[in-house]
Amino acid sequence: MEIPKLDINLNEELFRKYMRILKLARFPTRDEYTKIALVAAAGVVLIGIIGFAIYELFLVLPA
């Protein structure tokens, strides 16, 4: 039984697409990295504050 060539062509095409993306990718500059880290940290803090507020609300409501 022979392996279909279509499967090999699909894998090669997928590999080429991944390689193209990797060639275009680059490391962020220090400024870009700092901005991304600050936005991510602000999001984590905001979600934490919202979660803490909901937690406190559920502690007060039953009383």
pLDDT digits (tens, 9 = 90+) for 10-50: 778 888 888 999 999 888 899 999 999 999 999 999 999 99
The answer on pLDDT for 4 being more than 80 is: no
**Does pTM surpass 0.85?**
no
For 48-58, how does the pLDDT look when each residue is reduced to its tens digit (9 = 90+)? 999 999 999 99
The reported pLDDT for the residue numbered 8 is: 63
Answer yes or no: are the C-beta atoms of 36 and 43 closer than 8 Å.
no
Closest CA to 28 of 39, 20, 17: 39
Question: Where does the pLDDT of residue 6 fall: very low under 50, low under 70, confident under 90, or very high at 90 and above?
Answer: low
The reported pLDDT for the residue numbered 61 is: 87
